[in-house]
Amino acid sequence: MQFAIVTPSIVETYKLLKSGNPSAPLLSAFGPGGWKVRVNCMWFGSLMMSLVAALFSIHCKQWLDGYGVELAFAGSANIWKATLNKDVRRTVRTYLWKTLHRAYKIGKYWQNITGWEQREKCQVCGEEESMEHILLECEEPGRKMVWDLAEKLWRMKVDRWPELKNIGAVLACTMADFKDLEGKKMGGANRLYRILITESAHLIWRMRNKRFGEATEETWPKENEIRNLWIASMNQRLDLDKAMTSKKFEKKAISRTKVLQTWRNTLKDEKNLPDDWTNVREVLTALSDMLGDLLRGLLQGTSLKGLMEHEEKLDVHELGDELDANSLNWLMEHTQSEDVYQEALRAEPEYRRCRSAAPLSTPLKTIPGTPGLPSTSVV
């Protein structure tokens, strides 16, 4: 910068030199007077200040550029670390990590693969099938239903629903930091938000995979099926939180206070529950009651075979000491909906009578479609 100013001055001064006999030296415009000396000092001082300001602005720009780069990389690192949040299930954490690293074979991945170019487009709306499109833009009705359910449950706890404008809002949900009007962190709301967004996004991804693997629309998940799967996933997370409060998990255990704060104002019949409901078995989310589900948010005959059947069988197995052996075996082999399980539960007195008196082979009035199961006590 100094050379840029001094060089033109030297050039212009050289042009004023005349060839021939040297004349008397020109007198400086600044005389020895006091005020002239002060003006001279001020002129040179202003010149030096302008040079310093120019150099300082160059350094400031370099510092800001470096800070911006550092900030960008720090933000990415924080998001990567946030995907390892323990509030998110391991399967869902894997999904988030792969999405961040673009490890899934979707969209542009198929663009240059001969014979498979059609996979670049969405089967439903024909747009490029990026993860953002799958989660936030696709016209498939199940996607919107999942987010509507998540919003409905969230508004039971917090009035305002944070709009998901892009894929970044989904991937960074584990960094949520909501505060109340007094500026205090809402720990329970933050944790519920992480669970809602990650579980909902993962369910939409699973539905996309099922749709992608099925040949016809008739075999794609229906609206009732999707609704029930979402509710069941929330109830399973609630059950997991309750189980993780046990002291047997030692350092990995979750505090009861954290679980209670997370699900407060979102439970079915919450006013009738004790203050500490972590030991109560049948605790469900509020949407379970709104949608008229049975024990785990599944309507009659709408569960995906194999996906929720395992949880149903575990429930039946827990009642094994209250059922006779033949009935228990039949339930373990044939239960595919909570409706059958509920009928068996309500018929428990008859099972006890059959176990102590009449064998199952005795002709009795039975539940339609379930040979050998008595139904005299079904209400």
Q: CA-CA distance, 91 to 203, in Å (whole number)? A: 11
Give the residue-averaged pLDDT of 362-367.
Answer: 36
Give the residue-averaged pLDDT of 147-168.
Answer: 90
pLDDT higher than threshold 50 for residue 229: yes
Q: CA-CA distance, 205 to 233, in Å (whole number)? A: 14
pLDDT in tens, 278-292: 888 767 776 764 433
Q: CA-CA distance, 363 to 347, in Å (whole number)? A: 16
Most confident of 35-39, 173-177, 350-354: 173-177
Most confident of 104-113, 188-197, 216-225: 188-197
Confidence (pLDDT) at 307: 40
Confidence (pLDDT) at 202: 94
Confidence (pLDDT) at 205: 92
Nearest CA-CA partner of 266 in 147, 156, 146, 152: 156
SS3 for 297?
Answer: coil
b/e map 57-86, b = 16+ CB within 10 Å: eeeeeeeeeeeeeeeeeeeeeebeebbebe
> What pTM was estimated for this model as a whole?
0.58
Q: CA-CA distance, 98 to 34, in Å (whole number)? A: 76
Q: Which residue has the higher pLDDT, 283 or 177?
A: 177
Q: CA-CA distance, 286 to 229, in Å (whole number)? A: 15
Check: CB of residue 315 under 8 Å from CB of residue 341: yes
Most confident of 75-84, 219-228, 262-271: 262-271
What is the SS3 string spanning 304-369?
CCCCCHHHHHHHHHHCHHHCCHHHHHHHHHHCCCHHHHHHHHHCHHHHHHHHHCCCCCCCCCECCC
Q: Kindly list the distances between the CA atom of residue 162 and the CA atoms of 147, 190, 267, in Å, as whole numbers in the listed order.
A: 11, 12, 21
**150: buried, middle or exposed (CB in 10 Å: 19+, 13-18, 0-12)?**
buried
Q: Which of 115-119, 247-251, 306-310 has the lowest mean pLDDT?
A: 306-310
Give the residue-averaged pLDDT of 196-220.
Answer: 83
pLDDT in tens, 332-342: 555 544 454 45
Give the residue-averaged pLDDT of 351-376.
Answer: 40
pLDDT higher than threshold 60 for residue 224: yes
Confidence (pLDDT) at 23: 59
Give the residue-averaged pLDDT of 356-370.
Answer: 39
pLDDT higher than threshold 80 for residue 35: no
pLDDT higher than threshold 50 for residue 305: no
Confidence (pLDDT) at 292: 38
Give the residue-averaged pLDDT of 146-163.
Answer: 91
SS3 for 121?
Answer: strand
Q: Which of 132-141, 314-323, 354-363 has the lowest mean pLDDT?
A: 354-363
Give the residue-averaged pLDDT of 1-16.
Answer: 55
The mean pLDDT of the chain is 71
Q: Which of 157-161, 199-203, 207-211, 309-313 has the lowest mean pLDDT?
A: 309-313
pLDDT higher than threshold 60 for residue 322: no
Confidence (pLDDT) at 350: 53
Confidence (pLDDT) at 333: 56
Give the residue-averaged pLDDT of 337-353.
Answer: 51
pLDDT higher than threshold 60 for residue 306: no
pLDDT higher than threshold 50 for residue 29: yes
Q: Where are the domains of the chain?
A: 306-379
Please give the torsion angle defined by the CA atoms of residues 290, 295, 299 and 300, in that order, rounded to the nearest 10 degrees: -150
Confidence (pLDDT) at 127: 87
Check: CB of residue 262 under 8 Å from CB of residue 196: no
Check: CB of residue 172 under 8 Å from CB of residue 157: no
Half-sphere exposure of 162 (CA within 13 A, CB side): 19
pLDDT in tens, 77-87: 577 677 778 88
